[in-house]
Amino acid sequence: MTLNKPILLLLFWSWAAISLAQQTFPKNGVYDQRDGHYAFTNATIQVSPTQQLKKASLLIKKGKVVAVGTNIDIPNDAIQIDLAGKFIYPSFIDLHTAYGMPKPKAAGTRPKQQPQMVSNKKGAYSWNEALKSETRADELFTVNKAKAKEWRNLGFGTVLSHHRDGIARGTSSLVLLGEEREHEMIINNQVAAHYSFGKGTSTQNYPSSRMGAIALLRQTHYDAQWYKANPDDREYNISLEKWLAIESLPQIFEVGNRLDMLRAAKVGKEFGVTYIFRGRGDEYLRLDEIKQTGSAIILPVNFPKPYDVSDPYTTQEVSLTQMKHWELAPTNPAKLAKAGIKFALTTDYLKDKKTFWTQVKQAYKFGLSEEDILKALTTTPAQLIGADKELGTLEQGKIANFIITSHNILADKVTIYHNWVNGKPYALKDINTIDIRGKYELTLEGKKHELEVNGSLLTPDIHLKDPNQKDKKKKGTKLKYTYANGTIAFTIIPKKDTSKKAKTQAIYRLSGNVTAKAWSGNATKANGDWATWSAKRTGDVEIKEPKLPKLDSTVMGKVVYPFAPYGVEKDQLPTAKTVIIQNTTVWTGEKQGKLTNTDVLIQDGKITKIGKKLKAKGATLIDGTNKHLTAGIIDEHSHIAINYGVNEGTQASSAEVRIGDVINSEDVNLYRQLAGGVTMAQLLHGSANPIGGQAALIKFRWGQAPEQMKYEGADGFIKFALGENVKQSNWGDNNRHRFPQTRMGVEQVYEDYFTRAREYEKLRKEKGDKIRRDLELDAVLEILNKKRFITCHSYVQSEITMLMRMAERHGFRINTFTHILEGYKIADKMAKHGAGGSTFSDWWAYKAEVMDAIPYNPKLLNSMNVVIAINSDDAEMGRRLNQEAAKGVKYGGMSEEDAWNMVTLNPAKLLHVDDKVGSIKVGKDADVVLWSDNPLSVYARAEKTFVDGICRFDVEEDKKLRKALQAERSRLIQKMLNKKAAGVKTQPPVHTHKHHYHCGDIENNNFIDYNID
Amino acid sequence: MRTIYLSILFIAFSILLQAQNKDFLYTNVKIHVGTGLIIENGAVGIKDGKIAVVSENGDALKKDYKTVIDGKGQELYPTFIAPNTRLGLEEVEAVRSMRDYREVGHFNPNVRSLIAYNTDSKVTPTIRTNGILLTQVVPEGGRISGQSSILYTEADNWEDATLLADDGIHLRWPNRFHYSGWWAQPGPTKNNKNYDRDLQAIKVYMDAAQAYYKKDVVETKNIKFEAMKGLFEKNKRLFVHVDDARGIMEAVRLLKPYGVDVVIQGGAESWQITKFLKEYKIPVILSNVHSLPKHTDSDIDQPFKTPNILHENGVKFAFSMEGSWNVRNLMFQAGQAIAYGLPKETAVKALTLQTAEILGISQRVGSIEVGKDATFIVSKGDALDMRTSIVTDAYIAGKKVDLSDKQKVLYEKYKEKYELKD
């Protein structure tokens, strides 16, 4: 049989459900079971992303695809729907949603006395409130008809739904977007395990930083291994039980930017997990590194709006990277596809889900193929969660999830008529709407009028032509009308009476039946009398068929490395060359002291010769006349280039966290400091707790990825801290309960950790993995075993001596006291102990414990043969450490060579890299700086800074980069102004984020990348 | 016997000192006049605490002075003047009981900094040591923070310390943007939605203050508006603390119609609007040259270049460092600017005469010119470069200043302890 009547909203079907699976529910009334046996004929069927059938039929029954093809026998009992001219697509799958989930709620309230040390969640769960592996989406899921409709309107049929709260978020369920009972909608109850770096609703302080979240994940992996291997002698822990139980599922990790993706991938690699990432849309900026992770990505399409740059002063608030990302973001999906990275598309992260297709079409315009789009919405998501047997294509046996569209899904003004979920229709639009577009002659009470109907099929425009209007191009009066179910109704004023006498106009209300050739019906006149009317189709109008979006071939800016101002295209990154710096004053930093009129040869990143009149094949010659060449500055104490928190100060010890996990290669301060002659820095954890985190030693390889910045083969260091910060003296009255609160307590923290670390070592040796691996104690043990070295934030002599004695009791030495403002008082003790110092030149008086600081401290320590360095601890001071070293001459009269070594060779010694860097010596790394003047002078400017023989800063090149920066900004500003003029909606030139995408994450602000957002 | 001997020695020494204090001649010294001029081998004669003569021929003057000091190899500068500091109001930044610079309330023009000025501070001598003998001590907080005074860094009490009491009123211009986070982790920048409202509040306040000033008979005394009177009488300056270009222009255009003398304090983006500043004759006291560029895309050396841009475009400016202990690096801010184009003696002028002019004290200090106070410093080398700056002597109105400080005392103590030689 053929169905002629339109299928209207068939929602009542859900009450007369096709029973697909057996149910437990009692039935009120009489069962009304149906087969849901349908045949869709004459359609263009996209069976899969790679297979399209024309004039084909799709047969479904009991919610499954029975057959698809061009030559299918239509059974008699199938309800046949003729889809001539229409398209069928398998419906889409969104893998990253919280559909049907309750709003995340904290387990308790944040206590007044900070920090909150353990979870507020009652029961045998994890100590950390952000670890919620026990969360199960299926237990929380409820059907939300309004939300389901939002997705269905876009063509989605299934979503993967998880509770977006916490670092470990438990499992997701694969659910259908129908409106029946939860029992019917859940296809697969536990599909994937979900993670993020965001604490969500947890009010617990730990972790407060990204490196803390990473450490927590790593520790939990080890905890789980131990838990599994050791069933007899351990606590019972539901969160760990569940962690283990869901380990074999696909692991989906939500990240906020490309660098976080690499960080999470590194954690995964350690434990043999290849995560599927919910990306951020900025993957194109680190494509190679991301490709190497082997991860698939669930990709949002949240391309930013242009900024409103009409005010030149306000526009300064918008960075080049924000502007560039605006331009390049739509190219991200195509670039991923080209790179062969597997990805699925998601509506996640969009402020307004309704913009999804506009955004996908943007991606298409910028090179993402139709096939790739379809894959990313159907087969790829299905494969990623192992649901490709049930979903993703319209092959026989699969769930009957599909949509019926008017045109190609990518065409502009495409209509999705139906969204069939599990073999049941959700009619969005009337599929049998008669196309009324054309020219008509309307006869009303014997008078004739012209009507023209054009525009889209479902919602055309109807114009009543003015008979007096001679200009045929003018369309006439636009009519308001309703047109549904074959009935059209509208109102007209046949003739305009413009005379003043006419107080009321004669208004007719018309209603009529529609056929393809004519309309006819009755009308009421102004006085209430009835009249008849008809409209005869007299001709066609030009119909613009929806078309695929035009590919955009505008010239785009290039991706630069790093993605920051002063970044350059990958192929323009500087490389190591053979260089001779000629006829200059060389501050060797070695016994030779200063050499005048000397040449230095750099080859393959090393200093290979120092002498007069040097020659080398193909060497670039740099005239150093009247200039000074020194080793690159090494900053022993820096906090630049660190993402999302330098402190994990929520516990007395955070030895488990590693700055190396959170290096930010895109920090403009790296470039600014290269311009100040800095080539290397130790990135340190903050000083909030007695045992801080592990440090990272980086070279300023501006343009390289974070991992490539780390200095190869460097010894491990760890930050310790003493005094006011660790006893929380200046944190207000609500921080009065974390141990220690006094210097007395600080000692006991150390005594405890060093004692426990030794016992831990012994136990691990004896019992192996039966003893829980503890990342915190691992790090402390490395100190005891002289494999990790302490740099300790310190001011007051008493506690400095305490720590030295502590170390001596436990058989090791303190490597470095950083700040060490009262070091001069115990310089003799430090020298005897073997500790070095890294200090400020002249800082003091900012808190009680620095009231005895003196600028003569470096001089006194140096005279007492303590290796003493000057550090920055400050992004601003970090770019003029040469001047800070000079203060050694001013205060106490150090020799210029000694003063200079305080920012080069001495920090190299403190960091155990003085055999490779820190002075100008044959064989050492070519980390050198050419200065315009005596480098200790305030008048000196770094003109060239080499790192590994690569010129990473050049004062002349810098001029070009500034010009390029300005040109690029101007180009983008013009482009945005044009967009604004063309009516494109803009965003204000400042941040307006309201965490729309993740309500649980307000606490720790974890996902935003302010470089591009 | 021994006591008497010592007493005699002490008296003799005192007389010697007094004599020296009264009249003396510095010869053979490189004089940075402060006006942009330099006298390579000059002499300065001091009589009754004033500069009596400045000459290129010291030998001819020797006969007029009992005390002649040979300044060979030395450089003589007018005192450096540090505007906008918390010196004497803040001893230890982190300790609440030792902070005295922030009062509660939005409009406190009546609040005066000088009476809280702690002349016994351990911090101030370390500033003095580097050649800063005068500072403008400024209250903070609120919209109008209060009144500053210009004070000597050496004195026994605040009354003696005063060169100019209540020299200005400090208005903190509302921020057009709220920046969040810090340099290690910048947060979002947000529009200040209340900017227009805040601006109107300033206007309302200025209107009321002006109306009060114009009253013929004051029935009910308003001590806040009494404090504001000096602005309209032009014996106080209005220091507007503002950094962004648009804010500066809006401040000037709002305040100028009241006929008050406006000085911009901060002025990070002043370089963008030099034409405007010149046209309105608005001087700028720049905050730290040693600061990070305001935006990631800014030229990496923008704060270093800003002074020279102002100079080249005819905007009168001075240097400052907000804070207390760090103020001792004031002159190196000027040194940094020299490295980025500012002519050397112009930098000295900005640190001395120009600052004095902007603060309204140039009739007394700011240059080595006849008739001015003999308030100057002597350095072993270029005082603007930390490599060479060692201030050996300093004088306030011809009186020798104690250049010792707590830090030097501790240095000597431990040098002795470790038996170290210089």
Which chain B residues touch A209 with a CB distance below 8 Å? none
- Tell me if B49 is assigned to some domain: no
Q: Which residue in A847, A940, A1008 is closest to B93 by CB distance?
A: A847
Around Cβ B246, how many Cβ atoms within 10 Å? 18
How far away is chain A from the Cα of B294, in angstroms, using its nearest Cα? 9
Chain B residue at shortest CA distance from A323: B297
DSSP letter for each residue of A862-893 = HHTT--EEE--SSTTGGGGHHHHHHHHHHTT-
User: Alpha-carbon Rg of chain A, whole angstroms?
Assistant: 36
Taking CB atoms and an 8 Å limit, are B411 and A937 in contact across chains? no
Single out the residue of A4, A24, A3, A28 nearest to residue A15, CA to CA.
A28
Distance CA A280, CA A360 (A): 15
Look at residue A503 in the predicted model and tell me its pLDDT. Answer: 56
H helix intervals, A155-209 = 182-185
Interface test with B, best of A939, A962, A1006, A1008 (most B CBs within 10 A): A939
Which chain B residues touch A903 with a CB distance below 8 Å? none
Look at residue A1006 in the predicted model and tell me its pLDDT. Answer: 46
CATH of the domain at B296: 3.20.20.140
pLDDT tens for residues B236-246?
Answer: 999 999 999 99
Which chain B residues touch A671 with a CB distance below 8 Å? 300
How far away is chain A from the Cα of B345, in angstroms, using its nearest Cα? 14
Peptide bond just before A381 cis, omega within 30 deg = no
DSSP E strand boundaries for B228-304: 237-242, 262-266, 284-286
Taking CB atoms and an 8 Å limit, are B183 and A876 in contact across chains? yes
Distance CA A951, CA A700 (A): 11
> How many A/B residue pairs have CB atoms within 8 Å?
171
Taking CB atoms and an 8 Å limit, are A845 and B338 in contact across chains? no
Q: Does A489 touch chain B (CB under 8 A)?
A: no
Residues 908-967 of A with CB under 8 A from B: 934, 936-941, 958, 962, 965
Taking CB atoms and an 8 Å limit, are A860 and B94 in contact across chains? no
Residues 534-573 of A with CB under 8 A from B: 564-566
ipTM field: 0.94
Residue B344 per-residue DSSP state: H
A425 Cβ neighbours under 8 A, 6+ residues apart: A7, A10, A13, A418, A419
pLDDT band for B422, please (50, 70, 90 cuts): confident
pLDDT tens for residues A206-226?
Answer: 999 999 999 999 999 999 999
Residues 776-795 of A with CB under 8 A from B: none
Q: Which residue in B94, B122, B296 is closest to A848 by CB distance?
A: B94
Q: Does A320 touch chain B (CB under 8 A)?
A: yes
Q: Which residue in B94, B294, B300 is closest to A846 by CB distance?
A: B94
Which chain A residues touch B299 with a CB distance below 8 Å? 962
Taking CB atoms and an 8 Å limit, are B245 and A889 in contact across chains? no
pLDDT band for B4, please (50, 70, 90 cuts): low
What percent of chain B lies above the pLDDT cut of 90? 90
- Tell me if B16 is assigned to some domain: no
Q: Which helix H or strand E contains B224, and what residues bound it? A: helix B223-233
Q: Which residue in B91, B269, B410 is closest to A854 by CB distance?
A: B410
Chain A residue at shortest CA distance from B123: A845
Which chain B residues touch A319 with a CB distance below 8 Å? 295-297
Which chain B residues touch A668 with a CB distance below 8 Å? 296, 300
Residues 963-1002 of A with CB under 8 A from B: 965, 969, 988, 990-993
Taking CB atoms and an 8 Å limit, are A887 and B386 in contact across chains? yes
Q: Which residue in A316, A940, A1013 is closest to B295 by CB distance?
A: A316
Contacts 24+ apart (CB under 8 A), A900-903: A900/A587, A900/A589, A900/A630, A900/A935, A900/A936, A901/A589, A902/A858, A902/A862, A902/A868, A902/A869, A902/A870, A903/A633, A903/A634, A903/A635, A903/A869, A903/A870
Single out the residue of A142, A143, A132 nearest to residue A105, CA to CA.
A132
Which amino acid is located at A83 in the chain? Answer: L
Residues 634-653 of A with CB under 8 A from B: 639-640, 642-646
Q: Which residue in B177, B296, B387 is closest to A934 by CB distance?
A: B387
Helices (H) and strands (E) in chain A, counts: 24, 44
Tokens at A290, concatenated: 């991301």
Q: Which residue in B295, B300, B384 is closest to A671 by CB distance?
A: B300
pLDDT tens for residues B198-213?
Answer: 999 999 999 999 999 9
Taking CB atoms and an 8 Å limit, are B92 and A730 in contact across chains? no
Look at residue A1009 in the predicted model and tell me its pLDDT. Answer: 54
Look at residue A1004 in the predicted model and tell me its pLDDT. Answer: 39
Distance CA A293, CA A769 (A): 29
Chain B residue at shortest CA distance from A639: B184
Taking CB atoms and an 8 Å limit, are A319 and B296 in contact across chains? yes
Q: Residue with structure tokens 């009935």? A: A487
Flag residues of chain A having pLDDT under 50. Answer: 1-19, 992-1007
Taking CB atoms and an 8 Å limit, are B387 and A644 in contact across chains? no
Which chain B residues touch A317 with a CB distance below 8 Å? 177, 189, 295
Taking CB atoms and an 8 Å limit, are A860 and B420 in contact across chains? yes
Taking CB atoms and an 8 Å limit, are A883 and B332 in contact across chains? yes
Domains of chain A: 438-539 (2.40.128), 631-955 (3.20.20.140)
Distance CA A474, CA A493 (A): 18
Tokens at B308, concatenated: 């020279």
Virtual CA dihedral for A421, A423, A429, A432, nearest 10 degrees? 170
- Tell me if B178 is assigned to some domain: yes
What burial class does residue B104 get, using C-beta atoms within 10 Å of its C-beta: 0-12 exposed, 13-18 middle, 19+ buried?
A: exposed
Q: Which residue in A875, A896, A992 is closest to B183 by CB distance?
A: A875
pLDDT tens for residues A77-107?
Answer: 999 999 999 999 999 999 999 999 999 999 9
Interface test with B, best of A861, A938, A973 (most B CBs within 10 A): A938
Task: Select the more confidently predicted residue: B17 or B127.
Answer: B127
Interface test with A, best of B414, B415, B420 (most A CBs within 10 A): B414
How far away is chain B from the Cα of A907, in angstroms, using its nearest Cα? 21
Which chain A residues touch B192 with a CB distance below 8 Å? none
A214 Cβ neighbours under 8 A, 6+ residues apart: A197, A263, A264, A267, A657, A658, A661, A662
Taking CB atoms and an 8 Å limit, are B91 and A646 in contact across chains? no
- Tell me if B1 is assigned to some domain: no
Q: Residue B16: pLDDT above 60?
A: no
Give me the half-sphere count of Cα atoms (radius 13 Å) on the Cβ side of residue A707. Answer: 10
Look at residue A485 in the predicted model and tell me its pLDDT. Answer: 87
Q: Which residue in B184, B245, B387 is closest to A639 by CB distance?
A: B184
Which chain A residues touch B95 with a CB distance below 8 Å? 847-848
Q: Which residue in B183, B290, B385 is closest to A937 by CB distance?
A: B385
Domain count, chain B: 1
Range of the domain at B140: 80-366
Q: Which residue in A855, A990, A992 is closest to B407 by CB distance?
A: A855
Taking CB atoms and an 8 Å limit, are A860 and B418 in contact across chains? yes
Q: Which helix H or strand E contains B27, and what residues bound it? A: strand B23-32
Q: Residue B143: pLDDT above 60?
A: yes
Q: Which residue in B187, B189, B390 is closest to A317 by CB distance?
A: B189
What percent of chain B lies above the pLDDT cut of 70? 95
Taking CB atoms and an 8 Å limit, are A890 and B387 in contact across chains? yes
Could you give phi then psi for residue A736, rounded to 5 degrees?
-120, 20
Look at residue A16 in the predicted model and tell me its pLDDT. Answer: 38
Distance CA B221, CA B209 (A): 12
